[in-house]
Amino acid sequence: MRKKFIAGNWKMYTTAAAAKALAEGVAKGVTGNAVTVAVCPPYPWLGLVADAVKGSGVAVGGQNCHHAAEGAYTGEVSPQMLLDAGCQYVIVGHSERRHGLGEPDRFLNLKAKAATAAGLKVIFCVGELLAEREAGLTEDVIWFQVAAGLNGLSADAVSKLVIAYEPVWAIGTGKVASPAQAQEVHAFIRKGFARQYGDAAAGALAILYGGSVKPDNAAEILRQPDVDGALVGGASLKVDSFLGIVRAAV
């Protein structure tokens, strides 16, 4: 049985005060350890959010990282810096970075390698554009992103990461993939992992769905056999809606 995992991606939202209140509210509301829960605030709030959730069942993640350990990379943050700030997780390859900021697959591959080597658990995002889905290219696009992104990672490194399937057309649009559409792609990813890394690794892999997940649609998506949780954007910015999704995962 894979444990469900709900991660909140706060993107470039929240003030310091709002981040603290949100983190405290989530920490207070997460009781027990039936579900793995993480929040991914903006970089400047990582320390204060890590303090706010300390001792609770809530983990902290970064929304991105650079692949270098250190160097002249203005505006970037290394995996070790995230660890030092209290992170256990890092999101790599979010569509807002792939498509919005043009981060190429080979760059995401370097990040995934560096972050796992440093000891972070990577939430590696993949997802097709609407035009790609309509052209019947969903599986080709997804597998290319997985294969290119994880190329060269050891089986041990792969066993520590999480995949997030986030159809780009469903992110922040209110258009959620149907449970059947999500299940189809998740099963495809798991089958590919079985081919590449073996049945045990594929069986242990957590595959999250992301794209307009809300408390009222979460339960049906999370009931799908290959959906192991959710990466939540908009609905993670309010304590009640995020906790509603966490409760739907129990």
Answer yes or no: 94 catalytic: yes
Contacts of 144 (CB under 8 A, 6+ apart): 105
- With binding defined as CB under 6 A, does residue 211 bind ligand PEP? yes
- Which residue, 81 or 221, is less far from ligand PEP as judged by CB? 221
CB of 100 to ligand PEP, least distance (A): 11
SS (H, E, C) the chain: CCCEEEEEECCCCCCHHHHHHHHHHHHHHCCCCCEEEEEECCHHHHHHHHHHHCCCCEEEEECCCCCCCCCCCCCCCCHHHHHHCCCCEEEECCHHHHCCCCCCHHHHHHHHHHHHHHCCEEEEEECCCHHHHHCCCHHHHHHHHHHHHHCCCCHHHHCCCEEEECCHHHCCCCCCCCHHHHHHHHHHHHHHHHHHHCHHHHHHCEEEEECCCCHHHHHHHHCCCCCCEEEECHHHCCHHHHHHHHHHCC
Map the footprint of ligand PEP across residues 218-237, applying CB under 6 A: 231-235
**Shortest CB 14 distance to ligand PEP, Å:** 14
Which residues inside 107-166 make contact with ligand PEP, applying CB under 6 A? 166
How many Å apart are CA 85 and CA 118, to the nearest integer? 14
Nearest-approach distance from CB 243 to ligand PEP, in angstroms: 15
By CB under 6 A, is residue 213 in contact with ligand PEP? yes
Q: Which of 66, 94, 128, 186 is flagged as catalytic?
A: 94
Q: How far is the CB of 10 from ligand PEP (least distance, A)?
A: 9
Pick out residues in 1-30 that bind ligand PEP (CB under 6 A). 9
Question: Which CB sits closer to ligand PEP, 77 or 231?
Answer: 231
Residue in 171, 185, 205, 207 binding ligand PEP, rule: CB under 6 A: 171
| Annotated catalytic residue 96 | no
Residue 100 or 198 with smaller CB distance to ligand PEP: 100
Residue closer to ligand PEP by CB (options 31, 173) is 173
Binding positions for ligand PEP, rule: CB under 6 A: 9, 166, 171-172, 210-213, 231-235
